[in-house]
């Protein structure tokens, strides 16, 4: 392909300094009256300065091969007598970005840059060369499935669907693995665009000002609609939905026979489906009411009571809830003769007492110490000692015997008396990354847990509200707050609060749990 020779160095060209050229092009590139017609200039050519950082590069027209030499010409400091340190480049050469027949553009990533029509015209006046490679742009209106924001995406109509994905992901910060783009004509979900397609926008029917929709595969970030005082249920469900064994079991293609298990499985599938914002758990609520009538209606209840009822109902069909099953060793000791009797009591959660007197803060382990501490049985609860052969007052002591894969602590914030229910708002400091229970087991095995979910209760009795914090199953660094339908990121430093009610811990990999 023949490229015109460089123009003769006119007096004007000879007197124009490199910095002056850059200034003129910068002003032309920011002209608000420019059209959507642009030209390509080869990066391999020697015309343009560092367009990736130059303010006048609008990534609008392709400019190719003499890019580097023009960059060097403009960027290098002047030599003696004010002369440019680098030689002035020759004519523009775009031959490397078009097919040999001269008719079509071979779009190769980073092989060309885009400049607007005025910049191109000025460059040709200064340097001659070519050939011109015009590109017509279209504007697409990008909506995000999770909010109402609209982003303007400008691309050549010849750009491919693959390039559209690259542009959208670069603009929004969404990884291409999670991005899904749909035609959104008339604000209705249309065809899902193939991220690997080389079809052009024009061929795909995406014309000027066409709406497109970005869906992000954010599994596990769906909220739950409050059906009327059902925040207690929503909080417990979100904690269970982010419990790995429960999540893995119910998201498989199991055929559940029991109504409650089937409804729970369907609910989890909805919560973990891509693009879901909030789910209304109406069907699940009716199954809960049937299995546990105490929750019938729309009254406020306790998230711990709902959790226990749900685990009991699910256990009728599957042993998967055994991941919550632990054992305590209960020992009765007769102080008179030293006789000891041991029994083993199962648990699905440990209900830890909180001090009823005003206390600013305590630790989780101090609450556990209080729970396990030896205490004398009252005179109305005498023990028939096998050694003494008579009723004796005994001391009762609890020890952790078998720790479960999933360990749930209830902080007993609600104190019930004959006439009233009082809430205890004491701040309990609990570990997030590492809960070490090794000292509580008789054989001294390593027993390490990490926090992954919290059921919170804010406010007082009757006017309180339940929320949940949960860590994403596939990303150990991301915590989210689940406030009924609303889901938002939360920093790990906010997880430990005086609102914490149920603490969900999972065993650390390599930690020994079976202590029997």
Residue matched to tokens 């430990």: 496
Q: Name the residue among 111, 138, 145, 216 with its Cα closest to residue 174.
A: 216
Q: Is 127 left (phi over 0), alpha (psi -120 to 50) or beta?
A: alpha
Given the residues 144, 256, 315, 465, the one annotated as active site: 465
Catalytic annotation, pick one of 62, 231, 334, 367: 231
Which residues have CB under 8 Å from 473's CB, separation 6+?
A: 220, 242, 244, 247
Instruction: Clarify whether 242 is annotated catalytic.
Output: no
231 is catalytic: yes
Tokens of 312: 């009991």
Q: CA of 315: how far to CAs of 226, 231, 404, 409, 453, in Å? A: 26, 23, 15, 20, 21
Distance CA 300, CA 287 (A): 17
What is the three-class DSSP state of 235? helix
Angle in degrees, 0-180, between the axes of helices 18-29 and 67-75, rounded to the nearest 10: 120
- Residue 298 CA to residue 311 CA, distance in Å, equals 21
DSSP 267-295: HHHHHTSTT--EE--HHHHHHHHHH-GGG
Catalytic residue numbers, as ranges = 231, 465
């Amino acid at each position: 392909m023949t490229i015109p020779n460089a123009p003769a160095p006119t007096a004007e060209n000879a007197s124009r300094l490199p910095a002056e050229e850059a200034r003129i092009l910068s002003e032309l590139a920011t002209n608000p009256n420019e059209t959507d017609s642009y030209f390509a200039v080869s990066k391999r050519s020697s015309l343009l300065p560092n367009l990736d950082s130059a303010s006048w590069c609008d990534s609008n027209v392709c400019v190719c091969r003499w890019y580097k030499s023009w960059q060097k010409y403009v960027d290098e400091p002047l030599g003696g007598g004010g002369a440019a340190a680098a030689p002035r480049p020759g004519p523009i050469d775009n031959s490397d970005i078009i097919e040999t027949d001269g008719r079509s553009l071979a779009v190769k990533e980073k092989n060309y840059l885009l400049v607007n029509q005025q910049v191109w015209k000025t460059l040709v006046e200064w340097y001659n060369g070519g050939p011109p490679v015009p590109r017509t742009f279209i504007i697409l209106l990008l909506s995000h499935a999770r909010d109402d924001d609209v982003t303007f995406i400008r691309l050549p109509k010849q750009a491919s669907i693959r390039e559209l994905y690259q542009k959208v992901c670069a603009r929004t910060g969404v990884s291409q693995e999670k991005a899904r783009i749909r035609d959104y004509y008339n604000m209705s979900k249309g065809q899902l665009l193939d991220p690997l397609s080389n079809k052009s926008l024009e061929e795909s029917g995406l014309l000027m000002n066409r709406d497109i929709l970005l869906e992000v595969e954010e599994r596990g970030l769906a909220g739950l609609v409050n059906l009327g005082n059902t925040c207690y249920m929503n909080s417990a469900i979100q904690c269970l939905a982010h419990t790995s064994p429960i999540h893995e079991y119910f998201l498989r293609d199991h055929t559940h026979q029991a109504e409650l298990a089937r409804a729970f499985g369907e609910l989890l599938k909805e919560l973990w489906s891509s693009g879901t914002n909030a789910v209304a758990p109406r069907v699940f609520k009716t199954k809960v009411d049937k299995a546990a009538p105490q929750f019938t209606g729309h009254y406020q209840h306790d998230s711990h009571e709902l959790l226990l009822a749900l685990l009991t109902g699910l256990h009728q069909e599957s042993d998967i809830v055994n991941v919550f099953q632990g054992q305590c060793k209960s020992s009765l000791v007769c102080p008179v003769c030293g006789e000891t009797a041991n029994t083993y009591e199962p648990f699905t959660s440990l209900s830890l007492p909180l001090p009823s007197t005003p206390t600013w803060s305590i630790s989780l382990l101090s609450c556990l110490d209080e729970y396990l501490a030896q205490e004398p049985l009252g005179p109305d609860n005498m023990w028939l000692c096998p050694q003494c052969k008579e009723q004796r007052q005994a001391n009762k002591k609890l020890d952790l015997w078998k720790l479960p894969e999933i360990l749930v602590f209830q902080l007993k914030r609600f104190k019930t008396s004959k006439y009233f229910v009082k809430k205890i708002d004491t701040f309990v400091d609990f570990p997030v990354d590492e809960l070490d229970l090794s000292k509580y087991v008789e054989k001294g095995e390593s027993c390490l847990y990490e926090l992954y979910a919290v059921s919170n209760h804010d406010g007082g009795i009757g006017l309180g509200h339940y929320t949940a914090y949960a860590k994403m199953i596939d990303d150990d660094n991301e915590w989210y707050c689940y406030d009924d339908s609303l889901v938002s990121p939360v920093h790990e430093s906010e997880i430990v609060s005086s609102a914490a009610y149920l603490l969900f811990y999972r065993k650390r990999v390599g930690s020994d749990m079976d202590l029997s």
